[in-house]
Amino acid sequence: MLLPFEGDAAAGRRAFWEQWALDAEAGIELFDSASHRPDWTGEGVRVGVFDGSFVTGPAELSVPLGTSVLTVHVPELRPPPDWPTETEEWPLDIKSWLAVPKEWWRPLPNHDHGLFVAGLIHAVAPDSDLILYPVLNDELVGDLFTLNYALHTFISETLAISDTLQGAVINLSLGSPASIPKWLEELQLDTGGWRRVQEVRSLRTLLSAAVQHGMVVVAAAGNDGGGRQVPAIFDEVVGVEATDATGRLACYSNRADVTAPGGGPTEGECEMPCEGMCSPDCWEDVLISTVMGSPEYPAGFACGAGTSFAAALVSGLAALQFEASGGWQSKEGVDTAQIPQYVFDAIAKGTLDGIINVPGTLEQVQE
């Protein structure tokens, strides 16, 4: 659950840029865009964020962040009546991974979760084009029908704008309901569990098609403290697990392909580090990002922890790679379908103590 930031907007901006997840001294080595402009900023890279939203669109949100302005486009989603869906065959409810564990629940609105995610992507890739698709309601719950349509819209519009899908990123800081771990138990015993995962054909088909044409799909592994969930379980998707500020796996985090800062404790009862209000005393245990200014969030910033936010940092890093690569598609012998694998390999090889590392990854890209 997001907790309101203690302080005014100016203090929020400083805390946002100086937070441990973006601090080189913490060993994370993410660029601090507040103090300098790095060589690569994600310029020209489209990043689709599929999440909850303060508005249903169409709208353009602009949030001043000191030396940069976070601009988020929110399109209006109106699926046609005949839009194909398999929800009758297999009704998959999806939710933001901020919704669990239950011990973190606080009676505050959730609709800013998507803007919080977008803010963290902006922190890593400040010039990327962010499009926030409102696929979750205020309780951060949605359905497969809406998610599929939003994904189809992003893919189609990217192709219309760029004549290619290469160099775009899909961020899915959401996942399947808590019943999914039962699938994984079945999966360990026989193939029945995997067949059930395969029934989500409409979702996987869209993501697989995007990846085959050069897009990178990043998904949060989930906050159940077990194995990764749908869609992070799919081979085509880069699943992201979360660490605390010491670099250890967070107690809530499911396991996945890539490790990134997510905040929260590594031991104990796995309760939210802050109590009611995000004060400076707990900034070292959480991530700080943007929300819409409101009575609940007067500073326009909030604090949170989860694999949702770890995934956002990886999506930002993928955007930097697409810009820094100079266009893999133009290089001889590069298969479009292999581009997402190049992104993943560079992230894996460039890690610092197993955690994503911007300079290390970009060195791999430019070799």
Query: Nearest Cα to 31, choosing from 173, 126, 168?
Result: 126
In whole angstroms, give the CA distance from residue 350 to residue 56.
38
| Residue 172: strand pairing partners | 219
| Residue 61: strand pairing partners | 72
Q: Write the CB contacts of 353 (distance below 8 Å, at least 6 apart in sequence).
A: 27, 247
The number of distinct structural domains making up the chain is 1
pTM: 0.88
CB 289, CB 278: distance < 8 Å: no
> Residues 107-122: what's their mean pLDDT?
82
Quote the pLDDT of residue 104.
42
**Residue 47, pLDDT above cutoff 60:** yes
Quote the pLDDT of residue 332.
60
pLDDT in tens, 281-301: 889 889 999 998 888 889 999
Domain residue limits at 278: 3-365
Question: What's the token pair of residue 168?
Answer: 């775009």
Q: Write the CB contacts of 337 (distance below 8 Å, at least 6 apart in sequence).
A: 211, 212, 213, 214
171: domain CATH number is: 3.40.50.200
In whole angstroms, give the CA distance from residue 281 to residue 339.
42
Query: Nearest Cα to 155, choosing from 80, 209, 76?
Result: 209
More confident: 338 or 110: 338
pLDDT in tens, 196-236: 444 567 788 899 999 999 999 999 998 877 666 788 888 89
Band (pLDDT 50/70/90 cuts) for residue 72 is very high
Q: Strand runs (DSSP E) across 53-173, as ranges?
A: 59-64, 69-74, 93-96, 129-136, 141-143, 168-172
Cα–Cα distances in angstroms (integers) from residue 209 to residues 201, 212, 236, in the given order: 12, 5, 9
Q: How many residues are listed for the chain in this entry?
A: 367
Count, in order, helices (H) and strands (E) of the chain. 9, 14
Query: Nearest Cα to 50, choosing from 113, 104, 3, 105?
Result: 113
Residue that has been written with the tokens 């000191």 in this structure: 66
**Residue 307, pLDDT above cutoff 80:** yes
**Residue 328, pLDDT above cutoff 70:** no
Sign of CA dihedral 134, 142, 167, 161: negative
Cis bond leading into 280, ω under 30°? no
Burial 126-151 (b: 16+ CB within 10 A, else e): bbbbbbbbbbbbeebbbbbbbbbbbb
In whole angstroms, give the CA distance from residue 176 to residue 182.
12
